[in-house]
Structure 1
Amino acid sequence: MTELAALADTIRRNRATQPVSRLGYFCAPFRPPEGPFSDRVIKVYRSLPDAAALERLARCHGDYVAALQAAEVPLPATEFQLLEMDGGRVPVIVQEALPEASLMRPRMQRAPAEETLEMMEAAGQVIARFWNATQGSETRIGFHPSIRNFAIVEGRAVFFDTFPPLIHYSRDEMGRLLLQFSDSRLMRVVGPLMQRRVTGIQDEWYSPPETLVGLVGSACRLRPELAERYLAWGREFAGREMPRWAEEATEGMRHAPRLPGYWTGFRKLLGLQGEPNL
């Protein structure tokens, strides 16, 4: 169990630390260079004035991690805390650090074609396993298996994105959560004017075929010269490992999938790093 006073002190002392990623929408995770959490990545999120909402967030996160583990999704040790800091309670995730060299996105960018296809297969197996395990769930549950949310460790895809917890929240509630916890003040101010489109960002995460199509689309944007090979892999994988959703998934992979224009617009507005859309 994390020692909370030491965690709060670590966060205060390392707020200016170079983040391990600038790809995130909700926060800029960092890894302390020394101290008791030097083997952990720390993710600090915005607080809310609503204590009940924070307690619900904590419960949902615990349930989501349990659901991922029950679905045999490889996940580094992950702990959620509501940390007393700066006069409020701050949501914090402390997660076992993965080797930087294992992150799937940069590996996909530079690896030979056959190696990238092996990584796609590893990530695809996690997607199929999750959806096959959660079919018939009595609660609304989703999954965001983007290439940027995986690491490849000893040939196995390890998923490390547990926020927001995609369980129990209705579509409208999750849409509001996307704004409440955005790391961008601009998004929190402008977003409510585009609430319908912001809410729509999540739809792919709750659709088995669209999560697979999203993975393939990301690969096509990272390595456009290999797009046809990724599309062929995706169509074959859908029929082999996700047959109940194969028809819809295959339809989405006739051509290189494109991101919705409003989402690429949001990313530019927020200054998030990413590859250009095809």
Structure 2
Amino acid sequence: MRRNYNKADIKQEAKSGPERAAQALTRAGVFTDRYLITEGEFAGRMEKRLHGVVSEREADEHIRAMQWYVETLQKMGVTVADTVFRKTPAGRGWSVTLFQEKFEEDELVTAIIREGVKRECLETFERTLREGVKAIDYKREHDVPGKDEVGFHSSLRNWAMRGGEMIFLDLTPPLRRVNGRTYPPSFLKHIPARFKFIPSLRMRDLFFRPASRDSFAMPVMLAGCLASAVSRRRELERRFREKTIEVIEDCIPASERPAYLEKIAGKRLSLHRKINRLVRGFFRS
């Protein structure tokens, strides 16, 4: 049984902050739906149904891709949230549904950084950066597909902390090409189904930016984490930047550091992030 929300609930929750606003947009159907299951086999888990209706064969392929993605993250040393994948009938085809363990609001990294005391906030931010760098170390030591194909994206919103352990939440392969195979774009992180009527790809990309190889370059990810943290605790911008530089100096070979330092220098909000802020502001009003 799903817990559903009406429009009044959505607008009220959106007033609580950017993360709640994003959750409200999700429940409104702008992003992938996410519900708390209260009965049955998956009671207590969050249900996340992916947009898009495809053939049963394509649904099976996508589940295999997600299982490979989870196994690859675990090999990297990343702890992932307990998640079950299922294919479900949808209209004339099939969809894929994820049932993931539920995390409380105060266990999410974004909430800890936004609301935690200064020391806790900075320690959590640094731990998130170091967890992300695991992908680099793993790729150096093992023969795996390019990290842009793995699609691991260590953004703050993709992490939770429980019992002192960092747990990665986002288990949907973000790129069309995963494990050497190409998968249906309707499944992957591209454009919500209801916006597919927009005729111009340029217009679509302005509002719902598709994942690209550049999005998963590690310098871009660290810079994105920095910008995300600063947007939640602007008064700690200098300390966030110092922590980011510390991680780069500790974990990145000297020959590669200039690219990282250049990326985080004077990091500004992208057009995509500015648009998201405008949308969230609308729901808070």
- TM-score range for the pair, normalised by the shorter chain length: 0.7 to 0.9
CA contact (8 A) 2:37 2:45 kept: yes
**Which secondary structure state, in structure 2, belongs to the residue aligned with residue 57 of structure 1?**
helix
Deviations 1:3-36 (A, max 9, x none): xxxxxxx4xxx26258983365741311123444
Paired position in structure 2 for 1:130: 135
One-letter code aligned to 2:157? R
Number of equivalences: 259
User: 2-side partners of 1:50 and 1:72: how far apart?
Assistant: 34
Deviations 1:56-115 (A, max 9, x none): 322211110110111111111112111124443111011122233211112211112211
* TM-score, with structure 1 as normaliser: 0.78
Asked whether 1:69 is paired with 2:85, we answer no
**Which secondary structure state, in structure 2, belongs to the residue aligned with residue 29 of structure 1?**
strand
Judged with a 3 Å threshold, the aligned counterparts in structure 2 of structure 1 residues 59 and 127 are, in CA distance, closer, same or farther, namely same
Structural mapping, 1:169-188, within 5 Å: 169=178, 176-177=185-186, 182-183=191-192, 185=194, 187-188=195-196
Shift of 1:183: 3.3
Paired position in structure 2 for 1:6: none
Structure 1 spans left out of the alignment, 5+ residues: 1-9
Judged with a 3 Å threshold, the aligned counterparts in structure 2 of structure 1 residues 117 and 69 are, in CA distance, closer, same or farther, namely same
User: 2-side partners of 1:175 and 1:167: how far apart?
Assistant: 7
**Which secondary structure state, in structure 2, belongs to the residue aligned with residue 30 of structure 1?**
strand
Paired position in structure 1 for 2:96: 91
Judged with a 3 Å threshold, the aligned counterparts in structure 2 of structure 1 residues 219 and 178 are, in CA distance, closer, same or farther, namely farther
C-alpha RMSD of the superposition = 3.4
1:247 to 249, 258, 261: 258
Paired position in structure 2 for 1:150: 159
Q: Comparing 176-185 with 103-112, which one deviates more in the overlay?
A: 176-185
One-letter code aligned to 1:22? A
2:4 to 9, 13, 16: 16
Q: Comparing 74-83 with 187-196, which one deviates more in the overlay?
A: 187-196
Q: Comparing 244-253 with 17-26, which one deviates more in the overlay?
A: 17-26
Judged with a 3 Å threshold, the aligned counterparts in structure 2 of structure 1 residues 46 and 94 are, in CA distance, closer, same or farther, namely same
Q: Comparing 19-28 with 147-156, which one deviates more in the overlay?
A: 19-28
Judged with a 3 Å threshold, the aligned counterparts in structure 2 of structure 1 residues 83 and 214 are, in CA distance, closer, same or farther, namely same
Structural mapping, 1:1-278, within 5 Å: 10=1, 14=2, 16=4, 21-22=23-24, 26-135=31-140, 136-139=143-146, 140-166=149-175, 168-169=177-178, 176-177=185-186, 182-183=191-192, 185=194, 187-190=195-198, 192-194=200-202, 201-243=211-253, 245-255=256-266, 257-265=267-275, 267=276, 271=279
Q: Comparing 218-227 with 194-203, which one deviates more in the overlay?
A: 194-203
Q: Comparing 157-166 with 117-126, which one deviates more in the overlay?
A: 157-166
* TM-score, with structure 2 as normaliser: 0.76
Judged with a 3 Å threshold, the aligned counterparts in structure 2 of structure 1 residues 209 and 157 are, in CA distance, closer, same or farther, namely same
Judged with a 3 Å threshold, the aligned counterparts in structure 2 of structure 1 residues 26 and 213 are, in CA distance, closer, same or farther, namely same
Structure 2 spans left out of the alignment, 5+ residues: 11-19
**Which secondary structure state, in structure 2, belongs to the residue aligned with residue 189 of structure 1?**
coil
Q: Give the % identical residues.
A: 22
Shift of 1:122: 1.5
